[in-house]
């Protein structure tokens, strides 16, 4: 339920487009409380990636690095 509420909130209240919303969720932001762990040093690059996608994201859990899938299209 929290994930659905988060998706609705970031789409309607923050105006984040659906592909970008799906990318945020795919990268681990699935509820509003996840943002509580982010300080200014983490929020700034996240916002920058949302505005200018691209580059390589580090892999998680032993996975290889992957392309940053955030996209404005």
Residue 41 corresponds to which tokens in the numbers above? 């040093």
**Cα end-to-end distance, the chain, whole Å:** 27
pLDDT tens digits, one per residue of 22-59: 888 887 888 888 888 888 888 888 777 776 666 666 77
Whole-prediction pTM value?
A: 0.55
Residue 69 burial by Cβ neighbours in a 10 Å radius (0-12, 13-18, 19+): middle
């Amino acid at each position: 339920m929290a994930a659905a509420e988060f998706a609705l909130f970031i789409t309607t209240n923050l105006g984040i487009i659906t592909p970008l919303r799906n990318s945020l969720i795919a990268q681990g932001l699935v509820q509003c409380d996840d943002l509580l762990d982010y300080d200014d040093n983490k929020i700034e690059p996240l916002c920058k990636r949302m505005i200018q996608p691209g580059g390589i994201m580090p892999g998680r859990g032993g996975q290889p690095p992957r392309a940053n899938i955030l996209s404005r299209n």
